[in-house]
Structure 1
Amino acid sequence: MNASHPNISALDAPPRIRRLGEAAQNRIAAGEVVERPASAVKELVENALDAGATRVDIAIADGGKTLIRVADDGHGMSPEDLLLAVERHATSKLVDEDLVHIRSFGFRGEALPSIGAVARLTLTSRARGAEEAWQLKVDAGRVGRPAPAALSKGTVVEVRDLFHATPARLKFLRTDRAETMAVAEAIRRLSMSAPGVAFTLRDVSDGDGEGRPLYRAEAERGETETARLARLRRILGAGFAEDSVPLHAERDGILLEGFACLPAAARGSAQHQHLVVNGRPVKDRLLLGALKGGYGDLLPSGRHPAAALFLTCPEELVDVNVHPAKTEVRFRDPGMVRGLIVAAVRHAMAEAGHRATRSMGDAALGALGQGMEGPGAEGRVYASAAPGAQRGLSGFGGGWTPPPRPSQGALSAAYAAQAPMPAAWGQPGAEGAAWSPADIPAPAEGYAARPGFAEAPMGYSARIEAPDETAETLPLGAARAQLHETYIVAQTETGVVFIDQHAAHERLVYERLKTQLAENGVKTQALLIPEVVDMAEGDAELVLSAAEELAQAGLVVDAFGPGAVCVRETPAELGQVDAKAILRDVADELAAEGASSAVEARLHAVLSRMACHGSVRAGRRLNGPEMNALLREMEATPNSGVCNHGRPTYVKLSLAELEKLFARR
């Protein structure tokens, strides 16, 4: 039997179990704790923070492969502590060996001996109040003796020739540039969790004086939220601050704080998502999934939200001892934590109202200006967050009070010409009564009478002759014109707004359908003559299998022979619709969502597809009251800054940006 084993011949005795030597143990531990230079930097900086440092200075050379130096002003160590620090599982961070109530970064006692097993490690430290400093050297696991040294305070840890004792590991490292970027990212994440500590990171590969600065952050003062906000501005940039809304939620002793970007400011990768649990930067799939789930249908495909989430909870509710590198955590009740994050993000996005970022960036503006310098941050104008979204934090949101939501009767009248249906079909009003064209207010003087969205007379002008000047004070301003029968141009006190009429109205219809669904179900209108739609048998079966869900969404269907579906009722909000086109899109959406998706997710996906069919199309001519009604409804509707597919519904430019385009400043 043993002959079949590749390492055991028939004549050999089976191998006996033996205890590995201390050097082998440390090298194996190093493979788990010190994966790359950034891992070593992270461990050393965490030790500095646990030592009460208020300033941490890091220097690296060749991406950290040849040199890592971390200096801090913490409480330091005695000669006896230096010897214990390089022994495995020796730590000062566990009280009575309690593995539950952990309040420090490091606690496993593996970092220093692991680094010392694969590199040349030098520890120089002076205990607070001591008369002299001491130094200890470790070379590939061989520990020297403490010797007096020169150091005014704190600790300096120097790591040279990382992995020189295990050269095979060097082959798996990336380029110096990539390793340097990984170190910088580790420092940024740690500095985010400790805004009261000053950090500097320098590249001394050239050996030229102080080296090249890579990152610098002075200690932030003030309350926790104020200091955290200032540090986030430094790490993530002023753009993140302008394009984000604050989060604040609490449930069962777990507190969630932080900031999440608006949907239109989503990024192409997930690297801008930062999670901190009890002061510890982590990477947790549960939390990241909850963050994205909170956005729901607000994000376009392939885009990821930028966010910084700070979760604080009792130590007994989270296990931080599940990974050697301490980058993962486990919650006692993961479902509750996920629900907290999802609800907080949804609430914050809803409170942001119509607010969206400017989709035309500085680079695009520079290109439009034929090489002129693009506008700086001082020229940007962003719509402000709704009340409740600011929480008193300057820089995140403004301070406008949204106008009151128009009454249902006023909206029905304003949208009379927008609904793609003959007036004879009618549409429920506030009390469910149908309205007629006679209910539409008479057009203002100077407007030509227009038959809804029917072909306008040849004399139609896209420019509004008598604009509403008072509306310029509102966030989306007063409509001035319609361009290419697709885009609305509005003027505000500080700039100009371009609105995609179809994308905007699609979101409004979708939000109204969702509101109806949540309250009493979507209102339906029965077809005078039911419409029979021929479909592929697979699509027909898929639609009929979800007939009960579709009925909740306002689409009542039943079977009509093989491969045929009979549509009897459609959502009243959509007016006259193309039943065949809707069923085709609904079948595609049901197939994409899958049977395993939650009922609510499937219903919202269906509503989104149907809203697209019932919205103002590009190419439809609108008059002044219609355009202004659309703007006012956007200001009063949550999530109206993005369409159902996550694309922005409007672009806002300031006068400063326009002046730069024309070289006026």
Structure 2
Amino acid sequence: MSKIIKLPTKIISQIAAGEVIERPANIVKELVENSIDAQADKIHIIIKDGGLNQVYVRDNGTGIPENEVLKAFELHTTSKLFDDQIKDVQTLGFRGEGLASIASISKVICKSKNSSSHKVNEITIEGGDLVKQQTTIEKSEKSWTSVKITGLFYNTPVRRKFLKKTATERKRIIDMVTHFALTYPNIHFILEEEAQNKFTTRLESPSRQSLLAVIFDVLGSDIASELIVLDSKLKNWHVSGYISKPNLFRSDRSVQFLCINGRIVRHQELQKKIENAYGSQLMRSAHPILVLNISGPIDAIDFNIHPQKSEIRFKSNDTILSDLSELTRTTLDTNAELVILPLKKVPIKDKIGTQKMDDLFPVTSDSEDISHLDTELIQEENSSRTPSTGDIYKQLSLSDNKQVVSKSGIEILGHIMNKFALAYANDELWLIDIHAADERVKFEYYEKGSQRTVLSQQMLQPISISLAVGEKQFILDHKIELEKFGLRISNDSDTSILVHSTPVYFDQEISELSIKKVLLDIAGFFGETVDDQSIVESPLNKIEYGIVARLACHGSIRSGYPLSNEVIAKVIDNLLKCTNPWTCAHGRPTILRLPKSRLEGWFRR
């Protein structure tokens, strides 16, 4: 064994820097936080090659006193923490590690002018070593600071190899600056990228009086127009910001911006709590858009968990997570509404016949996210042969049913493609997904019956269902929950179970195949969630929720079969009685509505 030695300070700094600085976006975060702590109201960021070759930040903050510029880059030096104030720190920076970490793995040029002096103090540091220090004179009374970073990881090439492509690192920086802009609407942020002496503005957020105005600036009008205000006092906490309507979501959490006491943070438990509050209004694997600012007691949060200061921990007895989840749920219930199909304007100059169907009747911008849904939940038969013109006409034609008006006053026009219903209501054309609508009805039947055993239909002779050992065990382990919702089972053999009854709401033909599909789907759900038994915001717990969602889906009216207008009317009447009629149990929309004005707009009436 080699002799144990104490590592040199320079090596220690480079090792520690890896915890603070992993990529260019971390540099941007550290420098911008310093600018905010310096009370800047304008922050200008310039990057090259996605930040891989340069990060430059200039602000109009208070500046650094002339004899302290070099000291600012020494490890564990700070102007923001004194004595034993770590539990009461109110600034973004306080550890005294950010600038020192940046300087140890890059080349730095820092210039700063304090309002109390005309001197501009400049230092150049490479790999943690001072290379140059000079002072110039500037007549202006204004204070400012600029920091230019080049050669990131030039002295630790192994770490540089782990950086992503330019486009990926650029996006991380844009996301970071976006997060800052949404956290500090009163600050003017400019992000530019330089290439061959040309500058491209990647993001600009002028100083605004309202958060919503910044959302329009940095996230766009499509998102800003589909948000719901969240503003409430939750005991010692104040929550303000916006959450998206259920029809607006993403396949990941990249558009979730969370700020706690002015600090950009990640908190998966909190984000999950909010998502769970959407319940069945949100599709599986879909994530709502969040822009939330939470403020409260400083001593109720621990920011000093990780050197990047982006992870936090709440006091164990704080109820903010459950309170915020309940606030989200009630806010969504209060603002529940139908989905309106968006209008895409078609240029007049386009000739008739050259427009694609998707141009005239656009799919919503989030349609690609539906691919993340578990499509096996809906067992549909898809023909592999190419349909003829006659087939297409037959599918698009309305059913030959007589006209029916439902009890709720909805005029049923017909059934198309053996899948969707057309209806007329209050100068609007409604397109209804009958399977999704009936699924929502069945789901709420089960949900409301969760306080008692759901009625079941007894079989004259039990049906034996063959399953793999693991699948069978998952099913038997949840026998009590299944019986609660009308599915009574017992053990048959090592690889099979007996099904004695099914729920009265199960409208499909009772067969070995139909029941096996339900059981396999439920077994798959148990397998996915066996290690995660968190509670969904519903009268049902997560296991019950999964069972009910699958029973409702498999037991509802199937696509591919003709329906009478009378049956459609009953489904719609029942749907409109539901607590949340606008989505099925998996978050798919049940109804799209086309107002008269929208139709007239399409036809330029």
- The normalised TM-score by structure 1 is 0.73
Partner of 2:86: 99
Q: Do 1:42 and 1:186's aligned partners in 2 also have CA atoms closer than 8 Å?
A: yes
- Comparing 167-176 with 494-503, greater Cα deviation is found at 167-176
Asked if residue 36 in structure 1 is aligned to residue 29 in structure 2, the reply is: no
2:480 maps to 548
Aligned match of 1:192: 182
Checking the alignment, whether the CA contact within 8 Å between 1:521 and 1:554 is kept in structure 2 is: no
Cα distance in 1 for partners of 2:235, 2:180 equals 27
Contact 1:489 1:499 in 2 (8 A): yes
Secondary structure of 1:82's partner? Answer: coil
Structure 1 distance, partners of 2:248, 2:219, is: 13
**Does 1:640 find its partner at 2:581?**
yes
- Kindly state the Cα deviation for residue 59 of structure 1 after the two structures are TM-superposed: 1.6
How far is the alpha carbon of 1:603 from its aligned partner?
1.7
- 1:22-81 CA-to-partner distances (Å, cap 9, x unmatched) read x33433333222222221111111111111111111122232344322222222222133
Number of the residue aligned with 1:153: 142
Corresponding residue of 1:273: 256
1:498 counterpart letter in structure 2: L
Q: What letter is aligned with 1:647?
A: R
The Cα of 1:548 is off from its aligned counterpart by 1.9
Which position in structure 2 is the counterpart of 1:488? Answer: 421
One-letter code aligned to 1:532: P
User: What amino acid does structure 1 have at the position aligned with 2:174?
Assistant: A
1:283 aligns with 2:266: yes
Report 1:24-103 matches (<5 A): 24-103=11-90
Gaps of 5+ in 2: 366-397, 534-539
Equivalent-residue separation in structure 2 for 1:374 and 1:504 (angstroms): 27
Does residue 521 (structure 1) correspond to residue 452 (structure 2)? The answer is yes
Task: State the secondary structure of the residue aligned to 2:541.
Answer: helix
The corresponding residue for 1:324 is 307
**Shift in alpha-carbon separation, 1:645–1:320, aligned structure 2, 3 A:** same
Structure 2 distance, partners of 1:334, 1:483, is 55
Q: Moved runs in structure 1, 4+ residues, more than 6 A?
A: 359-363, 366-369, 465-468, 560-564
Answer yes or no: is the 8 Å Cα contact 1:191–1:197 preserved in 2: yes
CA deviation map 1:373-422 (0-9, x unaligned): 95899x999xxxxxxxxxxxxxxxxxxxxxxxxxxxxxxxxxxxxxxxxx
1:27-426 equivalences in 2 (<5 Å) = 27-128=14-115, 130-140=116-126, 141-143=128-130, 144-145=132-133, 147-150=135-138, 152-163=141-152, 165-166=154-155, 168=157, 169-208=159-198, 211-221=199-209, 227-248=210-231, 251-333=234-316, 336-356=319-339, 358=341, 370-371=355-356
Return the alpha-carbon distance in structure 1 between the equivalents of residues 155 and 499 of structure 2. 71
CA distance in 2, matches of 1:322, 1:245: 32
Measure the CA separation in 1 of the matches of 2:50 and 2:473: 59
- 1:127 CA displacement: 2.6
Deviation at 1:589, TM superposition (A): 0.5
Q: Secondary structure at the match of 1:80?
A: coil
Residue identity opposite 1:644 in structure 2: A
1:604 maps to 545
| Alignment check: 8 A CA contact 2:237 2:294 kept | yes
User: In 1, Cα distance between the equivalents of 2:340 and 2:321?
Assistant: 27
Does residue 1:535 correspond to 2:478, yes or no?
Answer: no
Q: In 2, Cα distance between the equivalents of 1:282 and 1:586? A: 41
What SS does the corresponding residue of 1:535 show, helix, strand or coil?
strand
How much has 1:153 moved relative to structure 2?
2.2
Contact 1:368 1:661 in 2 (8 A): no
Q: Distance in 2 between matches of 1:53 and 1:552?
A: 61
CA distance in 1, matches of 2:586, 2:104: 53
Give deviations 1:318-366, integer Å, cap 9, x for gaps. 1111111112112222884443344344334444435346489889xx9
Query: Structure 1: which amino acid aligns with 2:355?
Result: Q
Using the alignment, how far apart are the partners of 1:535 and 1:262 within structure 2?
41
TM-superposed deviation, 1:535: 1.7
Q: Could you say if the C-alpha distance between residues 635 and 148 of structure 1 is closer, same or farther in structure 2, counting changes exceeding 3 Å?
A: farther
Change (3 A) 1:593 1:540: closer
Matches of 2:44 and 2:566, distance apart in 1? 62
Aligned to 1:453: none
Match 1:593 to one of 492, 517, 526: 526
Contact 1:577 1:614 in 2 (8 A): no
Relative distance call for 1:283 and 1:375 in structure 2 (3 A) is farther
CA contact (8 A) 1:244 1:259 kept: yes
Q: Is the 8 A contact 1:265 1:357 kept in 2?
A: no
* Kept in 1: contact 2:203–2:218 (CA 8 A): no
Q: 1:148: how far off?
A: 3.2
Q: Which residue identity lines up with residue 201 of structure 2 in the other structure?
A: P
Q: What CA distance in whole angstroms lies between the structure 2 residues aligned with 1:44 and 1:314?
A: 26
* CA deviation profile, 1:224-245 (whole Å, cap 9, x unmatched): xxx2222223222222233333
Hey, what's the Cα distance between the residues in 1 that align with 2:163 and 2:267?
Answer: 24
Question: CA separation of 1:511/1:270 partners in 2, compared to 1, >3 Å: closer, same or farther?
Answer: same
Moved more, 70-79 or 341-350: 341-350
**Distance across 2 between alignment mates of 1:111 and 1:368:** 61
What does the per-residue CA deviation read over 1:261-298, in whole Å, with 9 as the maximum and x for residues that have no partner?
Answer: 33433222332222222221122332333344334444
Moved more, 303-312 or 331-340: 331-340
Deviation at 1:636, TM superposition (A): 4.6
Query: Gaps spanning 5+ residues in structure 1: where?
Result: 3-7, 9-13, 222-226, 382-458, 472-476
Q: What displacement does 1:157 show?
A: 1.6
Find the aligned partners of 2:356 and 2:562 in 1 and give their Cα distance: 35
1:199 Cα deviation from its structure 2 partner: 0.9
CA RMSD of aligned residues (A): 3.8
- SS of the residue 2:309 aligns to: coil
Amino acid at match of 1:50: D
Distance 1:178 1:563 in 2: 49
User: What is the CA distance between 1:608 and its match in structure 2?
Assistant: 1.9
Q: Is the 8 A contact 2:440 2:581 kept in 1?
A: yes
C-alpha distance 639-460 of structure 1, shift in aligned 2 (>3 A): closer
Tell me which residue corresponds to 1:405: none
Change (3 A) 1:52 1:607: same
Q: Distance in 2 between matches of 1:606 and 1:551?
A: 11
**Partners of 2:506 and 2:555 within 8 A in 1:** yes
Q: How far does residue 602 in structure 1 lie from its aligned partner after superposition?
A: 1.8
Q: Which residue of 2 aligns with 1:18?
A: 6
Aligned length: 554
Deviates more, 1:71-80 or 1:116-125: 116-125
Aligned equivalent of 1:461: 400
What letter corresponds to residue 293 of structure 2 in structure 1?
Answer: F
Equivalent residue for 2:436?
A: 503
27-36 or 198-207: which moved more?
27-36
Contact 1:354–1:636 under 8 Å retained in 2 = no
Aligned residue number for residue 618 of structure 1: 559
Distance in 1, matches of 2:101 and 2:479, equals 61
CA distance in 2, matches of 1:126, 1:540: 73
Contact kept, 8 Å, 2:336 with 2:580, in 1: the verdict is yes
Q: What SS does the aligned partner of 2:86 have? A: coil
Give secondary structure in 1 for the equivalent of 2:68.
helix
Find the structure with the greater CA-based Rg: 1
